[in-house]
Homo-oligomer: A and B are copies of this chain.
């Protein structure tokens, strides 16, 4: 059983294809609201040497990244904290608050609870004009496929490359880039948290398309030798970058630091790097059940 199979069972209950997107979309007058929640906890999400400020920052960043991937503007953030020690709350709250101060939205409330394992659940609400909303679905044949920043840095940081450690511990959600992409013609978008390869396969599936990537275009974490650099870029999780499709005539997008790595094809479900299939793997929860 993997997360994607579980999501299918949820979809059967709630009867809504919207959960394929990074956020739920709700009409509100002449605007769209977008809403998302993410659970993080000690054993699977937080490296041991993180500070509590960084844990709070990351908890905010994961949902702000989801808001970014819809082309939306963050409005408000809630933080539910299950704490093994109540004295941790202040630094965690400060981290989440500071991430909002930098990237948008306002920490407006939350919940606190006693928990054996530190568990942080953040929820973000965003808004966007309907014509600037970007979903996972919408890619068109011939679009460029692009990424912001450099995928694989979080994994490089995890594997001991100190120059990438901060990218792992203090990820920057690409809120400004996401908003600019929504206003400048991005046709499909998601964030990279499960890694580039899995994200490309998800995007190919929802768009009934394929992708051909060029190896020499792929940004790779600096200082990491091959073949690790390419493996980290394709299969590493934990990056807060955006993956999106864009008509070639819209490139470049002013103010957005991104790299075209290939193009959308009609080869359904195929993700090829220099003609060879990319492995369908990355960061996935696996269940023993």
Contacts and interface: CB of A to CB of B under 8 A. Distances in A.
A127 B41 CA distance: 31
Interface in A59-97: 75-76, 78-82, 85-87, 89-90, 93-94, 97
A26 B76 contact: yes
A108 B24 contact: yes
Interface in A1-21: 1, 3, 6-7, 9-10, 12-14, 16, 18-19
A152 to B, nearest CB: 23
Contacts of A112: 3, 6-7, 10, 39, 285
Q: How many monomers of this protein are in the complex?
A: 2
Interface size class of A (residues with CB under 8 A): 35 or more
Given A13-B90, A35-B125, A41-B82, A26 B75 contact: yes
Interface of A: 1, 3, 6-7, 9-10, 12-14, 16, 18-19, 23-24, 26, 28-31, 33, 35-41, 43-44, 75-76, 78-82, 85-87, 89-90, 93-94, 97, 106-117, 119, 121, 123, 125, 127, 285, 287, 289
Please name the 4 residue pairs, one residue from A and one from B, whose CB atoms are nearest each other, closest first. Answer: A24-B108, A121-B121, A24-B109, A123-B123
